[in-house]
Structure 1
Amino acid sequence: MMSAPDTEIRASSSALFAVKAEKKRASGVQFVRWLLLFGGGVVMIMPLVYMISTSLKYPFEVFNLNLIPEEPTLDNYRYVMQDSRFPTWFLNSFIVATITTVSNLFWDSLVGYTLCKFRFRGRYIVFIAILSTLMIPTEMLVIPWYIMSQQFGWLDSYWGIMFPGLMTAFGVFLMKQFFETVPDDFIEAARIDGLNEFQIWWTVALPLVKPALAALAIFVFLGNWTAFIWPLIVTNSQDMYTLPVGLTSFSVEQAVEWELIMTGAAVSVLPTLIIFLIFQRFIIQGVVMAGLKG
């Protein structure tokens, strides 16, 4: 028979072996996870790399699959920025996306706050009616939008491009759901202090839903920055084209100037990256706060 010390030693050895085996399995799983994440990252970033690579190529080299151009050139960037209407298209897209984003942040949050914190008859019907508009495909709304633009003289104008997106049902829904997390005690305390409803919304409620505002700003800006169908329909002159519409002018019947299209696309990515970098910390903060509340 084994003595007690021998039994304890063998039990300790078995436990140590089990711990080492578990660590080895965990490290193997972690390695597979990192490998999958790396592969997914490569797949996602390759189109961006190819776009930048093509923008640095001469026309005769566009269809070469090499990512590093044999003769890198900045002529495409010079042409796009100096000899085309690209700066005008860029400015148009920036104006439309910025004004639309600010409008959504103001009106969507205001309506969401009203539907969340005010008690009035029919508010659920109003909320359901707003949400029901999400079920209507955009393609079905294009004709009514165009008729409205024509009747009010909004064709080929900034207002004509912007008015369908100045307020969105998705933004109202998002803001209402976030305002649900704002304690009613804060609202009542502000009312007791003498603040009116607009001041309560602006100074008390809005600062508590910054993550939602950041997410909404990113969604709305990206949606309007990349919008194509409606700006194509409502604009007639090239001076009113937005960036996605303007880039199609580099594609003609005789040839498609891929190097210019890729150059314009590469430049157009910059504002979206800047917007994301500005607001990402608010989104991360919101995720952390949501985790702590859970």
Structure 2
Amino acid sequence: MLSVVFLAPLAVMALGSLQRPLQPPPDGLDLWPDPAEWANYAAVPRFMPVGRLLVNSLLLVVVAVPVTVVVTSMAGLAIAMARGRARRWLIGVSVLMLLVPAAALWVPRVVLLRGVGLADTPFTVALLALAGTTPFYVLLFALACSRIPTSLLEAATLEGLSPVAVWWRVALPLARPAVVAVAALSGLFYWSTFMDPLTLVSSPANWPVALGLRSLSEMEAALYPIYLAAAVVVTAPALIAFGIGQRSFFSSVERS
């Protein structure tokens, strides 16, 4: 029942995308427009280069998600293997970084990336993955790795495995639910984010699709069906990816 409530905006978006443009809004909730204006989807490329923006977002996700998983899983394993005061200190620093407002980092990021010449590229936003995207993912992996028996990690070390080998051959397979969860969450983040590209990417040719959709929100109200059609096009890949990731998450939980 709660899912129906949260899915209602998606249904309204899909139905609104089939309304006829340049017409007064319907009186009440129009469950199915008659006739349905499927041509709104064909009109979307006239208002935004949706194909190029989708490719930009896809490249961003393909690059940023694996980097996020690698960085956060390594950091989480390091926290789980730390002992005593060092472990408490690392957790405290992660929580403190999580409490820093995102808006406080916008200006420093712009200054830093422009200073090293990495601003305004299709992969600029993906550089955030080098910092793990968010400390929440690090804490999630730390919790998952802390459930691995310490004796198993110590035995792997005594057998001569390097820290990287312990991470790759022991920690990652046993923390697969966390891997799937972080991959799904970070994928949705990089697909839907527009504030980071808005501050870091100035060239429209390098925008991800979410920022391109944001630029259409200033259309006049009579053209909103086309805007909603663009929103459906942008939202559909994320919903499909989330559905696949959700099934993989529950299957990995059952196996573990």
Tell me which interval the TM-score lies in, with the shorter structure as reference length.
Answer: 0.7 to 0.9
Contact persistence 2:13–2:232 (CA under 8 A): yes
Q: TM-score when scaled to structure 2?
A: 0.87
- The one-letter code matched in structure 1 to 2:15 is S
Report the Cα offset of residue 71 of structure 1.
1.6
* Paired residue secondary structure (1:223): helix
Aligned partners of 1:111 and 1:71: how far apart in 2? 55
- Which residue matches 1:24? none
Q: Distance in 1 between matches of 2:220 and 2:238?
A: 32
The CA deviation at 1:144 is 0.8
Q: Which residue of 2 aligns with 1:284?
A: 250
Is 1:234 matched with 2:200? yes
Deviations 1:238-273 (A, max 9, x none): 111122210133244755631222112112222222
Q: CA RMSD in A?
A: 2.5
> In the alignment, what sits opposite 1:51?
13
Change (3 A) 1:57 1:208: same
Structure 1 partner of 2:212: 246
User: What are the within-5 Å matches in structure 2 for residues 150-169 of structure 1?
Assistant: 150-166=114-130, 167=132, 168-169=134-135
Q: Which has the higher contact order (CA 8 A, sep 6+)?
A: 2
Q: Distance in 1 between matches of 2:56 and 2:254?
A: 36
Measure the CA separation in 1 of the matches of 2:176 and 2:24: 44
Q: Runs of 5+ in structure 1 lacking a partner?
A: 1-36
Aligned pairs for 1:128-139 (under 5 A) are 128-139=92-103
Q: Which amino acid aligns with 1:216?
A: V
1:219 aligns with 185
Name the amino acid aligned to 2:135.
A
> Where do 5+ consecutive residues of structure 2 fail to align?
none
Using the size of structure 1 for normalisation, the TM-score is: 0.76
1:103 equivalent in alignment to 2:77: no
Rg larger for: 1
Work out whether 1:170 is the aligned partner of 2:136: yes
- Structure 2 letter corresponding to 1:43: V
Q: CA deviation at 1:162?
A: 2.3
Preserved CA contact (<8 Å) 1:56 1:74:
yes
Aligned position for 1:210: 176
Are the aligned partners of 1:113 and 1:175 in contact in 2 as well (CA < 8 Å)?
Answer: yes
The alignment-based identity, stated in percent, is: 28
CA contact (8 A) 1:108 1:171 kept: yes
Q: 1:245-264 counterparts in 2 under 5 A?
A: 245-252=211-218, 257-264=223-230
Does the alignment pair 1:188 with 2:150? no
What are the superposed Cα offsets for residues 154-178 of structure 1, whole Å, 9 maximum, x if unpaired?
Answer: 2221343222344131111110111
The question of whether the paired residues in 1 share the 8 Å contact of 2:106 and 2:196 is answered with yes
Structure-2 change in CA distance of 1:62 and 1:206 (3 Å): farther
1:132-147 matches, cutoff 5 A: 132-147=96-111
Q: How many equivalent pairs are there?
A: 252
Q: By how many angstroms is 1:119 displaced?
A: 4.6
How far off its partner does 1:83 sit?
6.8
Describe the SS at the equivalent of 2:169.
helix
Provide Cα deviations, 1:66-124, integer angstroms capped at 9, x if missing partner.
12111213222122257731111111122222322111100100111112124597443
* 8 A Cα contact 1:145 1:164, kept in partner: no
